Structure formats: C-alpha cells, structure tokens
Amino acid sequence: MSRPRAVLVLIAAALTLIALPTAEAAAKKKVKFGSRTLRAGMVGKDVRFLQRSLNSLAITTPVNGRFRPPTRKSVKKLEKRQKWPVNGIVTRKDAKKIKRLLTQRRSDVFFLFGGYYPVVNVTAARRGEATIEVVDVATATVVAEIPLSFDAPKQLPVAWNELTSSGGWAPDATYQMRIGDPGTAGATIAGGQTEPFLVRGRAFPVPGKHDFGGAGSRFGAPRGGRLHQGQDVAAACGEPLLAAEGGTVTTKAFQAGGAGHYLVIRGAISATDYVYMHMPGPSPLVEGQVAYTGSQIGAVGNTGSSSGCHLHFEHWTYPGWFAGGAPFDPLPELTYWDSYS
C-alpha cells in the first residue's frame, strides 16, 4: 500500500471512531421510549427509561442506557410474569403496556406483593461497602438495612423488598430510604424514590367513584332464605376492578343465577380468599395465574343475579372459599383501604 493511501485509510478509521460515540450520544439524547422496537445491542434514552421502569416494577436492572444481556434477562422476566410472549424484545406495543403498568398506581404508594418496589439510585465514589436504611418516618425507627458492595465507582439501583430486618412484611406506614452508612464506598443517593412513600398491605378494589349502599348491601342482609355473604360496592359499569391483595387465582367461573362472572384469589400474604362477583365478562386472568396487589383483574359489571352495576366482594378466612373457611364482614377493612385510595 502506498503511503498516501495508507494515510487516507488511517484518517477514515479515525473519523469512524469519532462518529460512533457521536451517534450513540445522539441516540441517547433524542429517542423516546415507545418510538422504536428495543432489542439487544441498542443504546439510548429509551433504553434507560426501560431499565428504570423495570426497576420500578420490582425487576432489578442496571441503569446505563445499553440493552445488554442483563436488560434482556429482565425484560424476559417481565414478559413471563405478565404472561406475554417471552422473547426479550420490547416492541412499541409492549412499551405502551409497560407504561400502562406504571400508571396503574400512585407514585407514592407501594403495595405488599404489588409487583414493584421503592428504588433509589446509589452512586459509589470508589470501590467499597455501604448501607441503605429504611426508616419509619413517624417513629424514626430503622426497620430494614440493605448492605451494598461496589467493585468500582458506579451507580446502582437499590430496591427495598418491603420486608423488615426480622424477615416479616412491613406494616402499613410511611417510610423513607436513606444512606445509613456511606462506608468505604463513599455512597450517596443520586435519585429514584428519594421522598417518603406509603407502604400498604391492601388496595381498595374499586378506585373509581363508588358507594357502599344501604342496609341491603351489607354483610348478613337477608337474601330470600339466605344471608348476604359479602359487601356490595356500587360503581359504574366498566370501572376497573383491582386485586385487594395479590396472590393466585384459584377459581374463575360463571354462575348465571348468582355470581355472574366471578373470580377468587388466594392472598399471598394472608392465605385468605378474596371473591369478586358480577364482572361484565370473564377476567383476563386464568386459574393458577398470579395477580399483584393493586393490579387490574377485571371490571365492575352486572352479570348473574344482580340489579345494577356493582362489585359483590367477599373475604373468607383460611383455608378459604368453600374449603373450610368462613366469610366475614369486609366493610371495616374496605373502609380503611378506601381511606388512602
């Protein structure tokens, strides 16, 4: 190769190396989540948004704007959890579904077994150890400690799994995540759920406009030779219906002369059964599927033996619905759940 040609080749190669970071930086600056299909090897702000969303949905993922194997693994975990096709690719349609999952909740309320955790982004100044504390704001009590280890200066998302240091579920309270000890890593919190947040064990099942009706809607009201075994919650047909407590769907059926389209969920925390009746059509869930606290399981309807759109809600003690358990009046707990909805 002649010397002038060799010089041109070297210049071209150098320009290529300069152009690559520029293109990557442009992608990170301009591309919005949902504007393109995301797959392994891609970079951009939309990838970073995806990674943060996965962390908010309780799937710990490095936040770096690069769609590498850890991100693909996290996407597949979400797909499996939501019963979507599992391929590790996020299409524009998938992006809309992910955004919908994020908007189904208040940003300051986290439900036990809710499918997402409070997350803070922690930056380490150097290699070393550090500790995050979770504090009950009202009592200033540390309820959990999360030890961290960094192999280099970096930023990591840190999620609290809503368990106390003793291993039990955190009680309903207001909490805040903070640096307990910056340690040898010189750790600081750089973002995420930096403000106080609520943790709640249950979600009110009808988030839209509703009422509890009169005496005839109550638990124990006469029903032609039998007693009403639940509490009616009147609401407009089609209003979203949420899981009061996440768990496993044990029954999905239709009863023309009674419950209409109904669903039974065995609570993952309490092992008690929650029953939702009179839905307008079959729930999108299937028997054996896991539902998360506060996630949509159907809609308010008027099927079966029903006069007007409402949710007939039952709560049964362990071991469950017509399995040895007994129904009890759910109005006191419904009233409490409604107070923070």
Question: What DSSP letter does each residue of 272-339 carry, written as one string?
Answer: -EEEEEEESS--S--TT-EE-TT-EEEE-B--SS-SSSEEEEEEE-TT-TTTT--EE--HHHHHHHHH
Q: pLDDT, tens digit, for every residue of 301-336?
A: 999 999 999 999 999 999 999 999 999 999 999 999
Report for 47-56, 63-72, 74-83: range of highest mean pLDDT: 63-72
Which band of pLDDT confidence, cut at 50, 70 and 90, is reported for residue 115?
A: confident
The reply to whether CATH 1.20.210.10 applies to domain 109-200 is no
Region 156-184: mean pLDDT is: 96
pLDDT band at 58 (very low <50, low <70, confident <90, very high): low
What CA–CA distance (Å, rounded) separates 184 from 62? 22
Average pLDDT of span 280-298: 93
- Least reliable range by pLDDT among 105-119, 189-203, 234-248, 277-291: 105-119
Q: What is the DSSP string of 265-289?
A: EEETTT--EEEEEEESS--S--TT-
Who wins on pLDDT, 341 or 221?
221
Count of residues in the chain: 341
End-to-end CA distance of the chain: 75
Q: Where are the domains of the chain?
A: 24-103, 109-200, 210-339
Which of the four pLDDT bands, split at 50, 70 and 90, describes residue 14? very low
**How confident is the model over 274-297, as a mean pLDDT?**
94
Cα dihedral value 119, 120, 124, 129, nearest 10: -60
For residue 250, pLDDT beyond 60: yes
pLDDT at 33 over 90: yes
Are β-strands 290-291 and 273-279 bridged in parallel, bridged antiparallel, or unpaired?
Answer: unpaired
Please tell me the predicted confidence (pLDDT) of residue 24: 43
Mean pLDDT across the chain: 89
Q: Tell the CATH topology of 24-103.
A: Muramoyl-pentapeptide Carboxypeptidase; domain 1 (1.10.101)
Global pTM value: 0.71
**Mean pLDDT along residues 246-273:** 97
How confident is residue 26, by pLDDT bands cut at 50, 70 and 90? very low
Each residue's pLDDT tens digit, 130-140: 999 999 999 99
pLDDT score of 44 more than 90: yes
pLDDT of 56 higher than 70? no
| pLDDT value, residue 301 | 97
* CATH no. for 210-339: 2.70.70.10
pLDDT confidence bin for 256, thresholds 50/70/90: very high
The packing angle between helices 92-103 and 45-56, to 10°, is: 40
Are β-strands 197-200 and 109-111 bridged in parallel, bridged antiparallel, or unpaired?
A: parallel
* pLDDT higher at 1 or 62: 62
- For 137-246, strand residue ranges (E) read 141-150, 154-159, 173-181, 188-192, 197-200, 210-211, 231-235, 240-242
pLDDT range class, residue 7, cuts 50, 70, 90: very low
